[in-house]
Amino acid sequence: MSRETVMEQPLIPKDEDKRIDCLHRLNILDTASEERFDRLTRLAQRIFDVPIALVSLVDTNRQWFKSCMGLDASETGRDISFCGHAILDDQVFVINNALQDPRFADNPLVTDAPHIRFYAGCPLRDVGGQRLGTLCLIDTKPRDFSHDDVIALKDLAAMAEQELAAVQLATTDELTEISNRRGFIILAEKALSWCCRNAQEASLLFMDLDGFKEINDSLGHGVGDQILKAFSAELQNNFRSSDVIGRIGGDEFVLFLMGSNLQESDLYIQRLRDALKGLYLQGKLPCEVSFSVGSIPVDYCNPGSLEQLLAGSDKLMYQEKGKTRSF
């Protein structure tokens, strides 16, 4: 009796756009192996006596392995991944015998190498709670997985989450939750290289809040922090998800806009000004918030370094601030 093909592809989480954005901002995909993650997968192999242990991160169309013990691959398609199923829930996802599970019985990872029979994956979350991937165990023979095993895998996964958090916090501004200077430079340099390779125009914007010291002095640092967080949120709301946004100083923000000339950048800037004014008029900001901006085009034929672009836009920003200073 023939059996129909019934392999079940993983569903897409409801917050997929935000999840993918958090994963990409982590800037860990396609990076070299690191001992701090490899140590955990080696430990998982030993504790559970499995041939394969992975730290897997689920990208848009693939699962990529930050650490891979016992498997000669760096990634597989998301549509056939077990980890794509595991990130749909906070609980450990266990398949005791994939051949007897209609969701996986004809999955190519089951019917062909690595011939998965047993799988257990614990979701790995970032500091904001987004499920980015798993710490998973794979065996080529069916097996049981006890309650104590689940607890032990969760403990190892918590250690992997701590390492992911260390990566994230190293490139993320703690107050505003956008990229810090290091994170911005890493992402913007990649964006700059892409624009040069693909002959795409771009713009770099350097922004500085007007009168921010006076706001801190007169209204207090708590209000200042509120304004910084609101300003960061409006940057994300009024620019595109593909734009690289960072806070590189106390009240200094930078943006790398791929595929935008200065005229288009000016439209986004005006939209930001209007949004901030609207928040103040609605009583959602304790005072009016304005900013000075220096905009510089990126010549993909001869862009110069990112640091040169930052210096040039910074200079233009202070020229604008000098013209509009009224305090």
What tens digit of pLDDT does each residue of 137-182 get? 999 999 999 999 999 999 999 999 999 999 988 989 989 989 999 9
One domain, residues 235 and 146: no
- Boundary-marking domain end, from 171, 203, 230: 171
pLDDT of amino acid 4: 55
**What's the rounded mean pLDDT across residues 16-22?**
93
d(Cα 138, Cα 142) in Å, to the nearest integer?
Answer: 10
Considering the domain boundaries, does residue 10 fall inside one? no
Query: Sorting pLDDT into bands at 50, 70 and 90, what band is 325?
Result: low
Residues whose CB is less than 8 angstroms from the CB of residue 270 and which lie 6 or more positions away in sequence, other chains included = none
Instruction: Looking at the structure, tell me whether residues 200 and 290 fall in a common domain.
Output: yes
pLDDT score of 232 more than 90? yes
48-73 tens-digit pLDDT: 999 999 999 999 999 999 999 999 99
150 part of a folded domain: yes
Non-local CB neighbours of 183 within 8 Å, separated by 6+ positions: 25, 27, 170, 171, 172, 173, 246
Continuous segment of H or E residues that includes residue 55: strand 52-58
Tell me, yes or no, whether 73 and 154 share the same domain: yes
* Average confidence score pLDDT of the chain: 93
pLDDT grade for 324, boundaries at 50, 70 and 90: low
**Residue 53 φ then ψ, to 5°:** -140, 135
- Cα–Cα distance for residue pair 26/8, rounded to 1 Å: 29
55 vs 159: CA distance, rounded Å? 11
Arithmetic mean of pLDDT, 273-301:
95
Residue pLDDT, tens place only, 63-109: 999 999 999 999 999 999 999 999 999 999 999 999 999 999 999 99
Q: Is residue 21 part of a domain?
A: yes
pLDDT digits (tens, 9 = 90+) for 178-210: 999 999 998 899 889 888 988 999 999 999 999
Who wins on pLDDT, 117 or 240? 117
Residue 80 is classified by DSSP as G
pLDDT at position 326 is 46
Burial letters for 119-148: b for 16+ Cβ neighbours within 10 Å, e otherwise? bbbbbbbbbeebbbbbbbbbbeeebebeee
What domain range includes position 284? 181-324
Query: Cβ-count burial of 313 within 10 angstroms (0-12 exposed, 13-18 middle, 19+ buried)?
Result: buried
pLDDT at 275 over 80: yes
b/e map of 14-50 (b: 16 or more CB within 10 Å)? Answer: eeeeebbebbebbbbeeeeeeeebbebbeebbeebeb
Domain boundary among 171, 206, 229: 171
